[in-house]
A and B are shown apart, each in its own frame.
Chain A
Amino acid sequence: MTNAIASWLPWAVVLPPLVSFLLLTALGSKIRKAAGWIGSLATLISLIFAFRALTAVSGGATLVADPLLLLSYGDVEVAFGADVSPLSAIMLVVVAGVSFLVHVYSIGYMAKDPRIAVYFQYLSLFTLAMLGLVVSTNWVELYVFWELVGAASFLLIGFDYMRPAARAAAFKAFIVTRIGDIGLFAAMILAFAQTKSLAIADTFQAVQSGALAPNVVTGLALLIFLAAVGKSGQFPLHVWLPDAMEGPTPVSALIHAATMVAAGVYLVAFTYPIFAQSPSAQFVVATIGAFTAIFAATMALVQTDIKRVLAYSTVSQLGYMMLALGAGSVGAAIFHLTTHAFFKALLFLAAGAVIHAVGTNDITVMGGLAKKMPVTAAWFVIAAAALVGLPPLAGFFSKDAVLASTVPGYPAHFTAAVLTVLLTAAYMGRVLWLVFFGEARDAGRHAAAHEAPLVMRAPMHVLGVLVLVAGAFTAPWTGPIGRVFGALGEVAHAPLWMAGLTTALGLLGLGFSFLCVRGAIPCPLGDPTRAAYRLLEERYYIDWFYERAVGGAAALFGRFAEAVDRLVIDGLWRGIADALIVSGERADAAGGGQIQRYNAVALFALVVMLVVFALSMKGV
């Protein structure tokens, strides 16, 4: 790898979406038809360069692009650099690839939307932010792109801004992830205070050389993790992710597969040198991840909105990735992130095709759609099987890699993760049987259903093939892909008994949900009046708690602060002003037009001035 290519290649990956963003911003509605193709072309260029970068770093080297020096203040430099390590190369390919497919799919999905140019403008911004985040070399640069990801997702979730639910969801996503962003900001300040440098590499070096106290390292790791919890929808900041379903379905695919939620996992993987020095922080990451995995899976069991089921499954799968990171296996986490990006994007695109066809999100009114939409149904089934983790699909290998990474040292976490496999199979089975098989529950909708157009089917075919083959990505015979995964550290291979166990549990869950949906056996959660069902339906009352208790307390404090401001602070200044006005009026009234009183006052003032003058001149 010569330096000449290294100096521009990372920028060549990042900049095409910027160009298309600026182009769409400038030309806007004039090029409605072409907007989607411009955005798609830009991401395709990014994808090609990302592949080039991936092959360049597959040996384990890092591409270091020429940085753009932006700020220099004394000894502190804030340089926007662009490095591509094996880790970021994988992320670049996944992000650009999924983004490209989502772009193409959106051309069909959003064809009738009058604001299609704005949509692709936001999509380009989103892709740009994520690619920029992945190549960041500086805490400030990282933070800027991190916030851009959040801002772009806010715009896209609230894209349908005429609907109050979409607005509320966008606000919720922005505010909840903002809690996490405070963590990243605090981490940046802490790193700077400790190392006097904003370069991330300097922080890593200080951590690894032991220059920082263990407590500082743990604090730094936990602050970064807080940011990841917010972005990746981990407990207790998972509440925004299901609501983010209010955005257009391709956006959900992008947010859930490659960009927004992957940012949190990537951040922890990227800053892993810090976590590696702090066992307690790793334990926190693993515990939150394992808890989120099983906790979100239970909530997915009772959702009736097809996108919400997928949203909770995303939260659950992100829990797996965090668990792998906490257990010390960056390779397993990124492997699962990659395969998850493929099968979850496919699930969302297929779900989008279904929603497009029947005009509703409610799985209880669908049914028998496999006959009407065989291609969509086939890919959905394959992606669902990958999510459940059935061999030989991608999810089987990556999930078992995650599980295997937890075996040394984390038995409780392993148990929770294995139970999650059963829950995953149960809720995905429920969706499958309800949507694609059995009888049509709404004859009118069923009759109108049709297969999606080619521009929407083609991205699903590509993702489907990837879901079929991605399980082999860690194998050495895949060439540069295998080598680049190998550079992340060894990915644990599941022993045969574990593979058998998860496969058996997956089949058990699918079979159980099949019998439940058919009514052959009484469902534990079939009765909406039961307390357990209510608890899951109400999402453990966590959203309720945030809105009422936390939001209420915040509103109460706001009113209190407002009252203090109004009565004490405003009161003080108003009092002074009023006193001046009143004294002025009194003095004015004292004269009352009486020339002799004016004169008397003037005389008195003259006397006072003379006395003061005389006294002050005394010492001269």
Chain B
Amino acid sequence: MTPSELMQYLLFSAMLFVLGLFGALTRRNTVIVLLSIELMLNAANINLVALSRFLPGGAENARLPHPSLAGDFSATLGQTVALFTIAVAAAEVAVGLAALIAFYRLKASPNVDEMDSLKR
């Protein structure tokens, strides 16, 4: 993977993030909003995994025009952080869905724009 190929990953990640952001800001259904947030988290995961290959000690580090040799990062650092993110995302979805179910029982609606009890 060359640095120019890396750009494809980054662009893909950016598109995914913007799609997620758009969905999180515009959709009324809370389930869709939660899904969109997942999209944004995963866009970040792709960034992490792609970039980690270019860290010192990573597989593609030597391909850089000016390879950095300082430090001794493991090639798997980005992947580890991505795993953490997936775990956090799972927990977040679990809490989010539980809150949604509680909310649904209260208001009989899944819509995020009706979640304004603290202001009313």
Tell me how far the C-beta of A597 lies from the nearest C-beta in chain B, rounded to whole angstroms. Answer: 9
From 575 to 610 in chain A, residues with beta carbon under 8 angstroms from any chain B beta carbon are 591-596, 599-600, 603
Q: Interface size of B by Cβ–Cβ distance < 8 Å? A: 13
Indicate if B106 sits at the interface (CB-CB under 8 A): no
Indicate if B80 sits at the interface (CB-CB under 8 A): no
On whether the beta carbons of B26 and A592 are closer than 8 Å, the reply is no
Residue of B24, B33, B116 near A593 (CB, 8 A) is B116
On whether the beta carbons of A596 and B116 are closer than 8 Å, the reply is no
A603 to B18, CA, bound (A): 12
A518 to B86, CA, bound (A): 124
On whether the beta carbons of B25 and A593 are closer than 8 Å, the reply is no
Residue in chain B with minimal CB distance to A589: B119
On whether the beta carbons of A603 and B25 are closer than 8 Å, the reply is yes
A591 to B112, CA, bound (A): 14
**Contact string against B for A residues 97-124, beta-carbon threshold 8 Å, 1 for contact and 0 otherwise:** 0000000000000000000000000000
Question: Which residues on B sit within 8 Å (CB–CB) of A603?
Answer: 21, 25
Question: Which residues on A sit within 8 Å (CB–CB) of B118?
Answer: 593
Tell me how far the C-beta of A80 lies from the nearest C-beta in chain B, rounded to whole angstroms. Answer: 70
Max count, chain B CB within 10 A of own CB: residue among A591, A592, A596: A596
Tell me how far the C-beta of B17 lies from the nearest C-beta in chain A, rounded to whole angstroms. Answer: 12
On whether the beta carbons of A599 and B120 are closer than 8 Å, the reply is no
A592 to B112, CA, bound (A): 13
A595 to B99, CA, bound (A): 15
Indicate if B92 sits at the interface (CB-CB under 8 A): no
Question: Which residues on A sit within 8 Å (CB–CB) of B25?
Answer: 596, 599-600, 603
Question: Which residues on B sit within 8 Å (CB–CB) of A595?
Answer: 112, 115
Residue in chain B with minimal CB distance to A588: B119
Question: Which residues on B sit within 8 Å (CB–CB) of A596?
Answer: 24-26, 33, 112-113
Residue in chain A with minimal CB distance to B113: A594
Residue in chain B with minimal CB distance to A600: B25
From 74 to 120 in chain B, residues with beta carbon under 8 angstroms from any chain A beta carbon are 112-113, 115-120
Question: Which residues on A sit within 8 Å (CB–CB) of B21?
Answer: 603
On whether the beta carbons of A592 and B24 are closer than 8 Å, the reply is no
Tell me how far the C-beta of A263 lies from the nearest C-beta in chain B, rounded to whole angstroms. Answer: 73
Tell me how far the C-beta of A519 lies from the nearest C-beta in chain B, rounded to whole angstroms. Answer: 95
Question: Which residues on A sit within 8 Å (CB–CB) of B24?
Answer: 596, 599
Question: Which residues on B sit within 8 Å (CB–CB) of A591?
Answer: 119
A383 to B42, CA, bound (A): 115
On whether the beta carbons of B26 and A593 are closer than 8 Å, the reply is no
Question: Which residues on B sit within 8 Å (CB–CB) of A593?
Answer: 115-120
A594 to B26, CA, bound (A): 11
A594 to B25, CA, bound (A): 10
A239 to B113, CA, bound (A): 79
A592 to B117, CA, bound (A): 10
Tell me how far the C-beta of B12 lies from the nearest C-beta in chain A, rounded to whole angstroms. Answer: 21
Question: Which residues on B sit within 8 Å (CB–CB) of A600?
Answer: 25
**Chain B interface (Cβ < 8 Å from any Cβ of A):** 21, 24-26, 33, 112-113, 115-120
13 further A-B pairs in the complex, CB-CB below 8 A; given A593-B120, A595-B112: A591-B119, A592-B116, A592-B119, A593-B115, A593-B119, A594-B113, A595-B115, A596-B24, A596-B26, A599-B24, A599-B25, A600-B25, A603-B21
Q: Can you name 12 A-B pairs with beta carbons within 8 Å? A: A591-B119, A592-B116, A593-B117, A593-B119, A593-B120, A594-B116, A595-B112, A596-B24, A596-B33, A599-B24, A599-B25, A600-B25
